[in-house]
């Protein structure tokens, strides 16, 4: 009885003193919003407290308390961003103060990185919370230690140093000290690269130790190149990986150039630039070529704090882990290397060789679009932003831990003023120095709206025709409309899912004779005209709808069809890679139908490398640490081997499909009606058959004829279409595609075979 009484008294005391035992009145977050303002958010209604109930460490004073609901707003004596503070609220506990809005007050327009000014070298790095920054200057890239020089901080958070003398060919990095704390990453013992590095040398280790090269070499000879930007609606984009295009010996590239920038532009070879140009595409989209963390944590190494149990290759091959926003990936250069413990990029060759790639592609009438990643940065290495200031450059939770809505371990805080400046200056750098024609933005919905607007304004100021394409999802957000409203293009996954399907197991689409994923005859009609907002889609113009059926993510279209037809079973071990690569008659027919739908719909077209021959990704046996050897691979981001390398023997093996793609590209280039017709130019025709679609494209373009396109997704039955008045000739059927006549004098009713399509032109009167 006495024990129970004491418990009741204790509970009464706790409640009367403001300690809510249910935990509804604790501090949820505490953030410094300006030099004299702190927001304290509670898990329940903010308690009524006086000045004497709240205290802040390090001698900071509280002048006034206000607020509303669950938020207390404190007015304080001036706070210093280079000092960590902790707040105590009586009855609600203690919390570290996270600098937030106060950091937005720091902004500078001084040149950052290493610049020549008045004949001297000026070094500048933005680090407003640092208490000390030192420049470490190396005579040679692999010197263990360099010469240390102190830098000075200005009032805007920029640390700077000017050096006289000849420094070209040397290397440098920064050592940064900052306030101590549990969630800080400042480490003066580490030398980190300059985030504005135009060229980097990096160590082949998951820490990706790097140094910035001071370059002053001869100017690159562009030989009059001024870029090449087709209109959005005219784009036929080839999404490709720099190394994969020539790493396979059957590409014909010289052994020392396989998988490199220079290997891509060798002429007279089965693979590389000649192959790309032969398809007729007018743009390439390069998977990331900004310096990235290509080596990940050792696989299942128990000696490491974080054990990698997800990536047996310990590699990041695709490049979506950016380390340097201004530097080309040295892995693809002639001085590149992946030798364990070695150095890659020791001569800075990538700066010249990537420019050579752009120049050579432009000569062939091919624009260059870079796939860029600004929503997160490399996760496991010595990424400079984490050690310059984690709290400035990253989105953090209330405990100061990295948020990872990107799914990649961290989210870059694009809304910070100097982060926004860096993103924009990076894009302008690639446009000015490398003549890049446009960009595809990875997980673009994670970039804040103001930054998107500044990107649009500044890139168009430099090139009014710059190509801007969004991957319109990421971080729990989705939507193409916000990008189309800005005049950007965006990937159209509505088209992808409706025509192909959402997955090859239980989400098959039109080309398989299915209606899964909300697909319907009405949605198919909308795909034809550009998935426009006026008809329930997201795009303001058809030129903004990047139609595609395959990208680097998920199964290739070839493997999607192999699984979807049931000709390759889920989990099947493939022992004969060549036999698997050879398309069956059923697979070939579905591929052709898909391609015809893709190339005759309004909107830019994107194909992924190898799609044109039904590329298959089979986990390769060569040096494979996986137990999945022989399985189809839907996420091959970590494999630098035959799983990913383009196999030109397979292209030749399936040349009927490859030639079909070439023919469709030729049709699209020859006849602007397929790119530029308005929605009202399309009149849909009766087919009297489910899962079939036919339309008359009545061209308003001078000199263009009228067209009929018929698509039959029925796998087992034909579809009948009555042609409009006149005589017609076919340019596409189930066997051939091109600008030449296949069958002439067609009129009345035509029959479209199962899983097939046709395109016809009205004969001139």
Measured distance CA(67)–CA(60) in Å, rounded: 19
Answer yes or no: CATH 2.60.40.1130 is held by domain 15-104: yes
Residues of the chain with pLDDT under 50: 1-23
Measured distance CA(173)–CA(126) in Å, rounded: 14
Q: Which of 659, 730, 667, 673 is nearest to 704 (CA)?
A: 673
Measured distance CA(594)–CA(198) in Å, rounded: 42
DSSP 464: T
Each domain of the chain, given as residue ranges in start order, spans: 15-104, 669-762
The set of residues, in sequence order, having a beta carbon less than 8 Å from that of 221 and lying 6+ positions away, is: none
Measured distance CA(370)–CA(325) in Å, rounded: 12
Q: Where are the beta strands (DSSP E) in 589-727?
A: 605-608, 682-684, 692-697, 707-712, 719-722
Q: What is the three-class DSSP state of 226?
A: coil
Measured distance CA(459)–CA(757) in Å, rounded: 41
Measured distance CA(50)–CA(59) in Å, rounded: 18
How high is the pLDDT of residue 24? 64
| Fold equal for 15-104 and 669-762 | yes
- The b/e string for 394-416 (b: 16+ C-beta within 10 A; e otherwise) is bbbeeebebebbbebebbbbbeb
Instruction: Give how far Cα 687 sits from Cα of 138, 173, 378, 599, 746, Å.
Output: 73, 68, 52, 21, 17
| CB distance 338 to 364 below 8 Å | no
DSSP string, 519-560: --HHHHHHHHHT-BGGGTSSBSSGGGEEEES--SSSS-HHHH
| CB distance 420 to 455 below 8 Å | no
The set of residues, in sequence order, having a beta carbon less than 8 Å from that of 657 and lying 6+ positions away, is: 583, 588, 591, 592, 595, 612, 613, 614
Measured distance CA(375)–CA(412) in Å, rounded: 5
How high is the pLDDT of residue 711? 98
How high is the pLDDT of residue 765? 57
Q: Output phi, psi for 34, to 5 deg.
A: -155, 180
Question: What dotted CATH number matches 669-762?
Answer: 2.60.40.1180
Measured distance CA(195)–CA(523) in Å, rounded: 46
Instruction: Give how far Cα 648 sits from Cα of 243, 255, 671, Å.
Output: 14, 16, 30
Q: Which of 283, 310, 312, 188 is nearest to 546 (CA)?
A: 283
Measured distance CA(214)–CA(122) in Å, rounded: 11
CA angle 289, 294, 299 (to 5 degrees): 160
Measured distance CA(299)–CA(86) in Å, rounded: 39
Q: Pseudo-torsion of CA 569, 573, 579, 581, nearest 10°?
A: 70
How high is the pLDDT of residue 689? 82
CA angle 70, 75, 76 (to 5 degrees): 130
Measured distance CA(492)–CA(150) in Å, rounded: 51
Q: Which of 256, 258, 285 is nearest to 272 (CA)?
A: 258
Tokens of 743: 């069958």
């Amino acid at each position: 009885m006495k024990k129970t009484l004491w418990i009741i008294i204790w509970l009464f005391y706790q409640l009367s003193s403001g300690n809510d035992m249910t935990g509804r009145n604790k501090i949820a977050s505490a953030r410094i919003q300006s030099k004299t303002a702190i927001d304290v958010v509670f898990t329940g209604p903010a308690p009524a407290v006086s000045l004497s109930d709240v205290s802040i460490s390090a001698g900071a004073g509280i002048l006034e308390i206000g607020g509303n609901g669950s938020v207390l707003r404190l007015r304080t004596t001036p706070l210093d961003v280079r000092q960590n503070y902790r707040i105590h609220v009586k009855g609600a506990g203690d919390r570290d103060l996270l600098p937030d809005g106060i950091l937005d007050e720091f902004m500078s327009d001084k040149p950052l990185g290493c610049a020549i000014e008045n004949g001297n070298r000026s070094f500048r790095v933005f680090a407003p919370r640092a208490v000390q920054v030192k420049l470490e200057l190396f005579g040679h890239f692999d010197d263990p230690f360099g010469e240390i020089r102190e830098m000075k901080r200005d009032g805007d958070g920029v640390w700077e140093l000017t050096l006289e003398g000849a420094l070209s060919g040397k290397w440098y990095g920064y050592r940064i000290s900052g306030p101590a704390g549990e969630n800080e990453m400042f480490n003066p013992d580490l030398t980190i690269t300059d985030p504005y590095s135009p060229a980097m040398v990096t160590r082949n280790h998951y820490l990706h130790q790097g140094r910035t090269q001071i370059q002053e070499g001869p100017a690159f000879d562009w030989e009059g190149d001024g870029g090449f930007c087709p209109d959005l609606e005219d784009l036929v984009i080839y999404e490709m990986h720099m190394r994969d295009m020539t790493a396979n010996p059957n590409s014909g590239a010289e052994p020392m150039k396989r998988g490199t920038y220079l290997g891509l532009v060798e002429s007279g070879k089965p693979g590389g630039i000649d192959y790309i140009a032969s398809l007729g595409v007018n743009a390439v989209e390069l998977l990331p070529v900004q310096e990235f963390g290509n080596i990940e944590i050792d696989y299942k190494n128990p000696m490491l704090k974080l054990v990698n149990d997800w990536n047996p290759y310990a590699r990041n091959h695709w490049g979506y882990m950016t380390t340097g926003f201004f530097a080309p990936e040295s892995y693809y250069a002639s001085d590149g290397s992946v030798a364990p413990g070695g150095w890659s990029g020791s001569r800075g060759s990538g700066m010249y060789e990537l420019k050579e790639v752009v120049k050579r592609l432009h000569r062939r009438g091919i624009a260059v679009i870079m796939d860029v990643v600004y929503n997160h940065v490399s996760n496991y290495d010595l990424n400079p932003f984490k050690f310059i200031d984690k709290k400035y450059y990253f989105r953090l939770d209330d405990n100061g831990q990295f948020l990872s809505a990107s799914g990649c371990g961290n989210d870059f805080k694009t809304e910070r003023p100097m982060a926004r400046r860096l993103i924009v200056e990076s894009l302008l750098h690639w446009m000015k120095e490398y003549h890049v024609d446009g960009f595809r933005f990875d997980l673009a919905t994670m970039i804040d709206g103001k930054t998107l607007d500044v990107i649009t304004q500044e890139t168009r100021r430099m090139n009014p025709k710059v190509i801007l394409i969004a991957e319109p999802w990421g971080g729990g957000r989705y939507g193409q409309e916000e990008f189309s409203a800005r005049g950007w293009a965006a990937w159209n996954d509505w088209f992808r899912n409706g025509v192909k399907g959402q997955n090859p197991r239980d989400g098959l689409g039109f080309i398989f004779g299915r209606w899964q994923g909300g697909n319907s005859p009405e949605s198919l009609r909308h795909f034809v005209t550009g998935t426009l907002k006026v008809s329930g889609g997201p795009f303001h113009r058809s030129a903004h709808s990047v139609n595609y059926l395959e990208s680097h993510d998920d199964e290739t279209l070839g493997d999607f069809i192999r699984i979807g037809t049931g000709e390759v079973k889920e989990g099947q071990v493939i022992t004969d890679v060549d036999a698997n690569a050879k398309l069956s008659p059923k697979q070939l027919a579905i591929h052709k139908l898909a391609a015809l739908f893709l190339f005759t719909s309004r909107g830019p077209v994107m194909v992924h490398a190898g799609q044109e021959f039904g590329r298959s990704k089979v986990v390769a046996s060569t040096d494979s640490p996986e137990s999945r050897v022989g399985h189809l691979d839907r996420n091959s981001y970590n494999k630098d081997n035959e799983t990913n390398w383009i196999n030109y023997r397979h292209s030749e093996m399936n040349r009927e499909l490859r030639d079909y793609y070439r023919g469709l590209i030729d049709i699209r280039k020859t006849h602007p009606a397929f790119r530029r017709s308005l929605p009202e130019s399309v009149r849909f025709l009766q087919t009297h058959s489910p899962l079939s679609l036919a339309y008359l494209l009545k061209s308003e373009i001078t000199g263009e004829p009228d067209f009929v396109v018929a698509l039959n997704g029925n796998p087992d039955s034909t579809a009948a279409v009555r042609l409009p008045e006149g005589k017609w000739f076919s340019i596409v059927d189930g066997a051939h595609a091109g600008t030449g006549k296949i069958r002439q004098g067609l009129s009345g009713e035509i029959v479209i075979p199962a899983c097939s399509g046709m395109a016809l032109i009205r004969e001139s009167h």
